[in-house]
Amino acid sequence: MSRPTGRVLTLLELLQSGGTRTMAELADRLGVDGRTVRRYVDQLIDLDVPVEAVRGRYGGYRLAPGYRVPPLMLSDDEALAVLLGLVAGRRTGLMTTTATASETAAAKIRRVLPERLARRLATVLESLAFTEPSGEFATPDAGVLLTIADAVRHRRPISIRYTDRDGRRSDRTLHPYGLVAHSGRWYVTGTDPGIGEDEDRTFRLDRITDARTLPGSFEAPAGVDPARRVLSGFATAAYRHEVTLRIHGTVEQIRARFPAGVASVEDPASAPVTDPATERWRHVELRAERLDWLPPLLAALDRPFIIERPDELRDLVIALADRLATRARAHGDQEEGPAP
């Protein structure tokens, strides 16, 4: 898009934001002089955009009341942001008064998009799985996201340039199965054929600086569930501490404090599989860099539990219990002072 044409569209966007814009303000925002602003206004009028000149001390230019510009002009990034916002709102319960509002809005946007962009955005929405409602998502590069989504849909291998959590950079080949949005992050899951087809790999999209489609295709495992694979990967990732617990309760009660992305919950190997809603002893395993957050979590769970390992966690739980007991026995007439 040429610079003069781009400035005319910028002028239109400024006027659409409402109110009267002074000549000085428009000239400053567009980086031109007043004569050029008037020429741009004339171009908008030639396009049947009703720009009004307002005279007087607070004069300038404004759009005629009630005017709305019919064409929808969105860049790739803007269209992707709008459609993903609508989908996320629908899947997390954040929507307008009717359940169909976000769907009809998305349909209207798709109808006015160029076919190429509409097709690529459709691959993103078809490839995306949500695990649970969460906060603001880290934003991946739009080009990377579109390339990976296309590879997921058509089962094509990709080459990615990745930076891990320790800052090490590497070039990887990936057979991507799906895209997953989880807890404010975007992930792609699949296998690295250079390591082994049976080893799952999960990569954060905001750490991928380049993604390219490679020749050929691959077969995904039957019944693959990208969201479940990402969550199980978090629960079994290598960390400093390996924690094994036995907790008495239903699966729902345990999951209230130990979600799938944190821990695995299973019946004992020697016991028959039972209804998840039945209260019984269950194995809970997780990995963690630190243990200090676990004692308050176990206290809040309020279910019988046994710590199988590590001993350090047992010591931390006993210390927390001692502190709580000491404070609970404190008398109300005790001299107030700074908390220990």
User: Each residue of 229-285: pLDDT tens digit?
Assistant: 777 666 556 567 889 999 999 999 999 888 877 888 888 765 666 677 788 899 999
pLDDT of residue 318: 93
In 3D space, the residue among 188, 203, 205, 170 whose CA is nearest the CA of residue 127 turns out to be 188
pLDDT of residue 254: 92
pLDDT of residue 94: 46
pLDDT at 20 exceeding the cut of 90: no
What is the CATH architecture of 3-63? Orthogonal Bundle (1.10)
pLDDT of residue 70: 57
How many Å apart are CA 266 and CA 263, to the nearest integer?
10
What pairs with residue 306 in β-bridges? 246
Mean pLDDT for the stretch of residues 313-335: 83
Mean pLDDT for the stretch of residues 310-331: 90
Segments of the chain assigned to CATH 1.10.10.10: 3-63
Query: Which of the four pLDDT bands, split at 50, 70 and 90, describes residue 157?
Result: very high
The per-residue pLDDT for range 89-133, each reduced to its tens digit, is 666 544 544 445 666 677 777 777 777 777 877 788 777 776 655
Q: Which helix (H) or strand (E) holds 15?
A: helix 3-16
Alpha helices in 22-181 (DSSP H): 23-30, 34-46, 76-91, 101-111, 115-127, 142-154
Higher pLDDT, 248 or 222: 248
Higher pLDDT, 156 or 87: 156
Q: How far is CA 219 from CA 157, 176, 213, 276, in A?
A: 10, 10, 16, 33
Segments of the chain assigned to CATH 3.30.70: 236-328
20: helix, strand or coil: coil
Contact 20, 62 (CB under 8 A): yes
The CATH number of 236-328, from 1.10.3210, 3.30.70, 1.25.40, 3.40.50, is 3.30.70
Higher pLDDT, 248 or 77: 248
Mean pLDDT for the stretch of residues 160-172: 87
Q: Which helix (H) or strand (E) holds 231?
A: helix 226-235
The per-residue pLDDT for range 182-192, each reduced to its tens digit, is 766 788 888 88
How many Å apart are CA 150 and CA 82, to the nearest integer?
19
CA atoms within 13 A on the CB side of 212: 7
Mean pLDDT for the stretch of residues 43-53: 87
pLDDT of residue 143: 83
- Inter-axis angle of helices 76-91 and 115-127, to 10 degrees? 30
pLDDT at 332 exceeding the cut of 70: no
Q: 171: burial class by Cβ within 10 Å (0-12, 13-18, 19+)?
A: exposed
What pairs with residue 210 in β-bridges? 161
pLDDT at 57 exceeding the cut of 80: no
Q: Which of 15-29, 112-126, 208-222 has the lowest mean pLDDT?
A: 112-126
pLDDT of residue 303: 93
End-to-end CA distance of the chain: 66
Higher pLDDT, 184 or 45: 45
How many Å apart are CA 318 and CA 295, to the nearest integer?
9
Q: What is the mean pLDDT of the chain?
A: 80
pLDDT at 1 exceeding the cut of 50: no
pLDDT of residue 96: 45
Mean pLDDT for the stretch of residues 309-328: 91
Higher pLDDT, 30 or 134: 30
